[in-house]
Structure 1
Amino acid sequence: MNSMRAVVLIGLGAGVTACSTSDIPSRHTGIDELPLVETSVLPQVDAGEATVISTPEAVEARQLVELPPAEEQVEPVVPIASPVTVHAVKVRVPRSLKVSERNRYLPFGDIVWREDPIGDRHAQVQKIMQEALIRGVTPLEGPGKVDVEVELVRFHAITEKARYTTGGVHAITFDLTLRDPETGAMVVPQRRIRADLEAYGGQQAINAEALGLTQKERISDHLTEVIREELTSPEGYQNAKLGFFQLLNKL
């Protein structure tokens, strides 16, 4: 069981004391009730370091813990009980990721996104991911309390040219780490998640849009299920096999 749950399950019961449920805030019943106002106003933060905090308690915790850059971290894994309750979600979209606005059949660059007006693509995809991931973790309840940290590696939707002809693959890759919200200690080591989704093309894309199934809608729903499966399934999220276009995205 080579996944996040493998480490979590090894420590079943060992981390309950450090993550007791006595100070866990009441759970929300839906994404509309989640208090996103404090951190979802993107102009107030650098989207390259954007942080999404789901509770006021998490804001205070983040102010007390200064984390070194991911590449410098060498930390022991602290076991925690499984399943978990997610205390906060942090999404980073590094400014080093290159944005492409070129209208090609195949994606170019690290970020390819079209369904928002031309602007700060880093901030746009950060917002998409933050809302989808929070929606995915909101229903989770367990004795272990964790912070979810995500750093985007690739976000390839498809261009206008591919959207109305061949279709393709929404190729999304990110690194996921779980941390103890009290200490900032790593609970589960970083894991790379590849969350590819079939991208509709031609008449299929036109029919989907007529039903309200835009690229943004489909990608958001997909990411919601990806994070939920990753944190609850014994084997974690397993990327789909999507054939030729998926292989081209890896070149």
Structure 2
Amino acid sequence: MKHIRVIALMMMGLSVSACASVDTATRNAPLETQTHQQMATAPLDVNIVGYNIVAPDSLRVSEANMYYPLGDVVWREDAPGNRLRQIEAIFKTAFERGTEQVKGSVPVVAQIEIKRFHALTEKARYTIGGVHSLKFIMTLTDPSTGAVVAPARLIEADLEAYGGAKAIYHENHGITQKVRITEHLAKVFHKELTDPTRPEPEKTAAIQN
């Protein structure tokens, strides 16, 4: 029994020693390693010199007039047509507006892939309202080499969607779904390219009811 206790104590000592070794290694990591870890979350001082926005043809478009239709893209405020090109146009306007004052020292090209664009159907718009569900992936690349400067990140930019009397009120004042979504995305782009650690932009309309 005495031998068993001695062996147990030795095993415990080895475990503590191993933990201490791991902790010491982390604390004594090279400065460049620590800096790399910090850069993963720190905002870059970027200068947007180009962009590419795409809504892949693989996205499913729904034209069903349901409260919550299945699909990746729900958009009704433009005339019937290619919904993917329509939402690309909205993203492009928002991106250009949101990056007008992004004039840092690191030139980058923004690669943006739209993953989800859910505005409201007619049924939801004039009854219960809901959420504009907006998701996209953004990658920043070097304009000369194409090398990744900031890795791909999935950005969720949901916005409250007005319904019923509130929606009608805002429409009568020129605040359509397109206006609100474009302005909101512009704020999201500006935040993500200047200080992604800040809270999300306020999800409010230009005119309050």
TM range (shorter): 0.7 to 0.9
Q: Secondary structure at the match of 1:107?
A: coil
Structure 1 or 2, whichever has the larger Rg, is 2
Q: Secondary structure at the match of 1:224?
A: helix
Q: Percent identity?
A: 48
CA distance in 1, matches of 2:146, 2:112: 14
The within-5 A match list for 1:53-202 is 82-202=44-164
CA distance in 2, matches of 1:124, 1:150: 15
Residues 1:7 and 2:40 aligned together = yes
Residue 194 of structure 1: CA displacement?
Answer: 0.3
Give the 4+ runs in structure 1 shifted more than 3 A. 236-241
Q: Report the CA distance shift for 1:145/1:237 in structure 2 as closer, same or farther (over 3 A).
A: farther
| 1:209 aligned residue | 171
TM-score by length of 1: 0.63
Give yes or no for contact 1:179–1:186 (8 Å, CA) kept in 2: yes
Superposed CA deviations along residues 2-24 of structure 1, whole A, max 9, x for unmatched, are: xxx943749xxxxxxxxxxxxxx
- Structure 2 residue runs of 5 or longer lacking an equivalent are 1-37, 204-209
CA distance in 2, matches of 1:238, 1:223: 11
Taking CA–CA contacts closer than 8 Å with sequence separation of 6 or more, which of the two structures ends up with the larger relative contact order?
A: 1
Larger CA deviation: 231-240 vs 178-187 = 231-240
Which amino acid in 1 is paired with 2:106?
G
- Between Structure 1 and Structure 2, the one with more helix by share is 2
CA distance in 2, matches of 1:98, 1:234: 29
TM-score by length of 2: 0.75
- Structure 1 residue runs of 5 or longer lacking an equivalent are 11-81, 242-251
Residue 138 of structure 1: CA displacement?
Answer: 1.7
CA distance in 2, matches of 1:213, 1:140: 26
